Structure 1
Amino acid sequence: MAFRKAGFLSQYRFVAVVTVKIFAAFHVLNEAIASSQPCAGWSMYPTLDHYGDAVLLLPMAYWRPKILGMSNKRPERGDLVVTTGMNNPAYTVCKRVVGIEGDVVEIEPTRSLHSSKSWAQGRFLRVPKGHIWIVGDNLSNSTDSRDYGPVPIAMVKGKVTHRIWHRGWLDWTPLGSNMSYLGPSPVPPPGSVQARPL
């Protein structure tokens, strides 16, 4: 029995198919299972460094299969999430969830007299259904829900669980919640709750 040696075209086709499969598997892993997300800027300082850390993003953290009546999990207070930028959809932002649907949040809780957002002090807002309220850990230097209002849950790209790169070194620091839930939202003054986003 004689075997014919595979030609160059067959070998090229095999390499091309294997390469496409590897890239497809990497794409699925990166888009659906886990990916690294660079974060730079002052808004999440000191949780994330302004020089540019990389974090582990889990895109399917809030997804559940639609079997046996299971519904998708929703972001919780204290979660770090990556969302599509409300001011520029070409960018993503990493912020902390401080309010979920139904919560009453104070739009600007800081009391600095020099705050650029002093117009919002003492004003409250109820987070609408299907939305979350996100802010940066560095309240004095963050563009977040205090500027553009509640964020639709559909714009959440995933949950951040770990910092994996810090100041040029590999890192594996868990990034859990740094806030405690103290119970139901306090009752705001009458007439101060706005029914719709700003």
Structure 2
Amino acid sequence: MILQTLFRAVAFGIPIGVTFLDTIGYVARVEGISMQPCLNPESNNTDYVFLSRWAVRDYKVERGDVISLVSPKDPNQKIIKRVVALQGDVVSTIGYKNQYVKIPEGHCWVEGDHTGHTLDSNTFGPISLGLVNARAVCIVWPPSRWQSLDAKLPDKRRPISATM
């Protein structure tokens, strides 16, 4: 009887858990300094964030969103960056092959907050929205850093012209 109950719990629990992780979201560890000071402001501490898959289910992101995406350089790696520009926007680049880039349809421009210490669109160009897999909603660990992550852009990294 106990084995049958345990089997039922596992048989129902695993699909529900997988569905939750695939549809709603999950907690992830943020590594590195590319998003300082927003994430991992002190190199000896690591932030954990809740990544909402639900928030990007329609591939709708906003300027200033902190998103998780598949790295265009290494498809086995996920990276966290801030959306700086959306399709139709023109952005001034930092070290990219062109000084100004108009973001093509279905793409966005992402950058790490720690300029000069990040691999981002200034390295690989505009990224396809198809690579976006979640939006970082809040810091969940450590408790001293509990906070929501609002969509905000630093003044120095705003698009030159933005579509509405």
Check conservation: 1:43, 1:141, Cα contact below 8 A.
yes
Q: Distance in 2 between matches of 1:97 and 1:40?
A: 18
Query: How much is the aligned-residue C-alpha RMSD, in angstroms?
Result: 2.3
* 1:91 has 2:77 as partner: yes
Distance 1:170 1:33, change over 3 A: farther
Q: Distance in 2 between matches of 1:87 and 1:157?
A: 16
17, 35, 38: which one pairs with 1:44? 35
Check conservation: 1:164, 1:170, Cα contact below 8 A.
no
Give me the TM-score of the superposition, normalised by structure 1.
0.71
Shift of 1:170: 6.3
52, 55, 71: which one pairs with 1:58? 52
Structure 2 equivalent of residue 149 of structure 1: 125
Flag as ranges the 4+ runs of structure 1 deviating above 4 A.
180-184
SS of 2:32's equivalent?
coil
Shift of 1:139: 0.8
Letter in 1 for 2:9: V
Deviates most, 17-26 or 81-90: 17-26
Highest Rg: 1 or 2? 1
Contiguous gaps of at least 5 residues in structure 2 = none
Pairs aligned (count): 157
Give me the TM-score of the superposition, normalised by structure 2.
0.85
SS of 2:34's equivalent?
coil
Q: Distance in 1 between matches of 2:82 and 2:64?
A: 6
Q: Distance in 1 between matches of 2:154 and 2:24?
A: 28
- The superposition leaves residues 87-134 of structure 1 with CA deviations (integer Å, 9 ceiling, x where unpaired) of 1111111100001000111121xxxxxxxx3xx487101111000100
Shift of 1:80: 0.6
- The superposition leaves residues 36-78 of structure 1 with CA deviations (integer Å, 9 ceiling, x where unpaired) of 0111101000100144211011101133xxxxxxxx3611100
Q: Distance in 1 between matches of 2:115 and 2:81?
A: 11
Instruction: Choose between structure 1 and 2 for higher RCO, CA contacts under 8 A separated by at least 6 residues.
Output: 2
Letter in 2 for 1:74: K
